[in-house]
Structure 1
Amino acid sequence: QKAFVGATLNFIKKMNNGFHYSLSGPEGASKTAIKDGRYQNAHVAFSLEASMDRLVATRAGNSPPKLGEAIYEDPESIKQRKRGGGVDWNTEDTYTMGLWSAYFDFLQWKCLNFPAIRPFSLVSILGPQHLQLSMYCLNEQEEASSSKGNGTAKSRPHYVCNITSFVNTEISHKGFFDLGPCAKKSMARLKAGNTGRVAVGSPPTGEEKNAEEYAHIVDGVETDKAEESDFTVEEHEPPLLEDDDDAAVTELGKGIYLKSGDQPCAMQLRTLGTNSWT
């Protein structure tokens, strides 16, 4: 699987400016490093500007794109972003973003459409664990210190202690494994009837801060847990090449790229503890 993972990551790196990854996680880090948060979680990261399929800034006083409809962005703006062009981030505009992929089917929990490789289950790579989609930045002090040495924006470590998270979305599939920790706590809040009986612990640090983003703990409520009898888990085969020839692997790095779908659709989500929809 090392050849498969390496070829896939090289393919992704060539097609995405600012791509960064670490597969080691905290394993091997010293106790001091763990305590100080100077370690990386296993991750694959993309620059926000280059990775979004649609990114539209709406000036104050204007109406942003409607959720559930196609998000229009000027083709020249898309090209500029994909080439590494920046975005004029400010607190005045409203930013609408669309992100989708032709390579992941979260309903079936599969990867697909990779050249020379048949579709395979995410369980064969990740095991029985959830995914976390996060939007974060590295603090300015880390950026400044890295620029003085050999580190670059693409190569410097994404240490947990230097990360400020803005959005964390947990993705799990009850048909293949138990729900993630945030999903369990959200379900517990709903089960408690949103009575507001929430116990807030001490401020989390390190991995807890970024994994759960100050998630509230419901006092005295048992979280739901998937039982084995609730679903049937299909057999998960490891990703296999259709050909044994190594050329099938190297084909991933030749610039073959499948375009994503035409229309992103932002679903409406109910905010916990309120009667409104956002």
Structure 2
Amino acid sequence: MDDSALLAARFEEHRGHLLGVAYRMLGARVEAEDAVQEAWLRLSRSDHTAVDNLGGWLTTVVGRICLDQLRSRKTAVPVVSLAPTVDPEHEAILADDVGQAMLVVLDTLTPAERLAFVLHDLFAVPFEDIATVVGRTPAAARQLASRGRRRVQGADAPRDPDLPRQREVVDAFLAASRGGDFEALLALLDPDVVLRADAATVLSGAAPEVHGADAVAATFTGRARGAQTALVDGFAGLVWSVGGSPRVVFDFVVEDGKVVEIELLGDPVTLDRLDLEGFPA
């Protein structure tokens, strides 16, 4: 067997798993099959001899392909029945762990939340690997999966046990920001903290990305005067509202008492999907 045939045979060993990942991500059989085919094309064009874990590499590639497709969608893709066209083996793979009802719920998640939840909760992919797909820190990937899990499980899902500590950090961050206390802000930030802004907030003047504690602290010193603490999908965060309507959400990722990531969210569709509530008394 030549190298190309051997590679094709190895790929086929993973096809069922990859189809399962893609279908759970995209909710449409044809799109899932296209994503898997694109993964094969990328593998065939790559230096596959340098890939130690082919299954993990392919899962990451399919995840990125699906994430790109979800982000580019203008409307949701209707969930379709698989039974008439999928062979029994693939139908069993796709039916395992996820039904039509769950696919409908998954459509309410943001693309990054959906990917993190699907890869971690349904396929046990480590957060370190998920982080490389979504371009976030492992802590942020963990939070994305947790937020997705809360929505899938419903409003009665348990709160994050670290919520009181998260609130302390976010409250201290807001106070330091309003008070223009650069040193206090610096003490709350992880040295490698990242501040990200979505397209809507970039259009309003925010920088797409700011890296490092010094730069992020400088960005917020004397700012956030109109923001208020809130729960953002069950996690501590800030919301700036106008006339009672949220305009910008400050989505925090807190780990070991330090802020490791902040994301500014201003896209109306994203804001509509977020569960925002004040802290309980």
TM range (shorter): under 0.3
TM-score by length of 1: 0.21
Higher helix share: 2
TM-score where L is the length of structure 2: 0.21
Q: Which has the higher contact order (CA 8 A, sep 6+)?
A: 1
